[in-house]
A and B are shown apart, each in its own frame.
Chain A
Amino acid sequence: MTALPHARVLALDELAPGLQACVEFEITAQQMQQFAELSGDFNPLHTDDAFARGKGFEGAVVYGALLVAKVSQLIGMRLPGRDSVWASVSLDFRKPLYVGQPAQVEGVVTEVSASTGMVALKLTVRAAGKLLAKGTAEVVLGR
């Protein structure tokens, strides 16, 4: 069995506003197909390049939920990592991401609550320097 990647472990007292982390990624055609099957969303905007071009896009548009999946990786593996549980997430999508296009999701800590263990993050997703999505997440850090 292949060893799983290890999640970073950050304690509450190691977190402060301004702390940031980033995950680089690109979504493959295989991941798009797997997500279509998982979600049942076979909208041709996401599965058919020609159809998407006909609608004014450069090709099949990556599912927004896959950007959220990379936010999951950022939170669960990097910031704050292993001991965190999502309490909320919100993302506004501004521009499309295309299959095979390198992108990055960045999280920056904006608030840390000592009384509750709640950590607020500002999220941005960028590709080629352009903002694709922005939002926020709230994460509870287990004690």
Chain B
Amino acid sequence: MSTDAVYAKLTEIFHDVFDDESIKVTPELAADDVDEWDSLSHIRLVLAIEKKFGLKFSAAEVGRLKNVGEFVALIESKMP
């Protein structure tokens, strides 16, 4: 899967989790940029990403992510 395709899938997930179609999913996007991105939304986001991509992450992997770009790198590192 190309990086663009990963971002396209992530965009769908972000729009669904935050119920906001205006969110632009870029590598720099971080929790501080989205008002609704609190701890529970973060959990929903991680679970949705695991489900959509058929992947599992560890707590440590998720805990050190600082922005979407790092999340994409993690996703790509786990994709076959």
Which segment, of B1-9, B27-35, B55-63, faces chain A? B55-63
Dominant SS at the A interface?
loop
Q: When the two chains form their complex, are residues A118 and B47 in contact, meaning their CB atoms are under 8 A apart?
A: yes
Q: Which residues of B contact A117 (CB under 8 A)?
A: 43, 59
Dominant SS at the B interface?
helix
Specify which of A115, A117, A118, A140 lies most central, judged by the most chain B CB atoms within 10 Å of its CB. Answer: A115
Q: A65 an interface residue at 8 Å Cβ cutoff?
A: no
Partner of B62, one of A87, A116, A140: A116
Chain B positions 34 through 66: 1 when the CB is less than 8 Å from some CB of chain A, otherwise 0: 000000101100110010000011110110000
Q: When the two chains form their complex, are residues B58 and A115 in contact, meaning their CB atoms are under 8 A apart?
A: yes
Q: When the two chains form their complex, are residues B58 and A87 in contact, meaning their CB atoms are under 8 A apart?
A: no
Q: When the two chains form their complex, are residues A118 and B58 in contact, meaning their CB atoms are under 8 A apart?
A: no
In chain A, positions 91-115 with a C-beta closer than 8 Å to chain B are: 113-115
C-alpha spacing A3/B28, complex, angstroms: 51
C-alpha spacing A116/B47, complex, angstroms: 8
For the complex formed, measure the closest distance between the CB of A79 and the CB atoms of chain B, giving whole angstroms: 19
C-alpha spacing A113/B57, complex, angstroms: 9
